[in-house]
Amino acid sequence: MKTLLPAVLACLIAAPALAQEAGQFTIGLGVGLVQPKDDNGIVAGGTTEIGNSTRPTVTFEYFLRDNLGLEVLAATPFKHDIRIGGTSIGSTKQLPPTVSLNWHFPTGGAITPFVGVGLNYTTFFEDRSPLGDLKIKDSWGLAAHLGADFAVNDKAAVRLDLRYIDINSDVYLNGTKVGEVEVNPLVAGVSYVLTF
């Protein structure tokens, strides 16, 4: 291990830096794991739990100036199981498009960390429950973003990132409000990012 570490560090230092200049844009293809927080609120008198979901994602980022990018996150629909008091009561699908302003630290090396803040809109659909007509309202909320790009060459990188998204939605059953879910998930992602 001691002999391997210097070689790994040398490769990282020698690897090309990923350019992030004004006017460039990137496309990232990957997967995202949406992991709602524990204890998702009280619905119909019971503690709600919303399950995890993993789906393909795509990001588009345009650099407004050097190192400052405006990014849009999109995905295929995430599907979540819903439990109340440990009993399954249905499922829902959701799309969480998120727009973020990301600052990429100009390290000049193979690893470029970044942080960002943004706005999320989550729409729920195909809400299903054996208890009746389930409806989860759409949500607006803030989002935080951090991660790092690991350069493969001067036009491509592997990205690891983590987002926190504020998602709170009213829940209706047969037209009557029965509570509010606090999803507030962490979204862990890995993607391959190409620069144009």
Residue 114 has pLDDT above 90, yes or no: yes
Q: What is the mean pLDDT of residues 163-179?
A: 94
Asked whether the predicted pLDDT for residue 42 surpasses 70, the reply is yes
User: What pLDDT score does 67 carry?
Assistant: 96
Contact 162, 147 (CB under 8 A): yes
Q: What is the pLDDT of residues 17-30, one digit of tens each?
A: 666 899 999 999 99
**Residue 171 lies in domain:** 4-195
Helices (H) and strands (E) in the chain, counts: 1, 15
DSSP 8-57: HHHHHHHSPPPP--TT-EEEEEEEEEEEPPS---EETTEEEEE--EEEEE
What percentage of the chain's residues is helix, strand, coil (to nearest 5)? Answer: 5, 65, 30
Give residue 132's identity as a one-letter amino acid code.
G
Neighbours of 124 (CB within 10 A): 23
What percent of the chain is modeled with pLDDT above 70? Answer: 90
Its pTM stands at 0.86
**What pLDDT, on a 0 to 100 scale, did the predictor assign at position 16?**
59
Residue 11, phi then psi, degrees to nearest 5:
-65, -40
Q: What is the mean pLDDT of residues 28-52?
A: 92
**Distance between CA atoms of residues 67 and 64, nearest Å:** 8
CATH number for position 84: 2.40.160.20
Number of structural domains (the chain) is 1
In this predicted structure, what is the pLDDT of residue 164? 98
Q: What mean pLDDT comes out for the span 103-108?
A: 93
**pLDDT band, residue 2 (cuts 50/70/90):** low
Average pLDDT over residues 35-48: 87
- Per-residue pLDDT at 63: 97
Distances (CA, A) of 114 to 95, 110, 163: 24, 13, 12
Residue 128 has pLDDT above 60, yes or no: yes
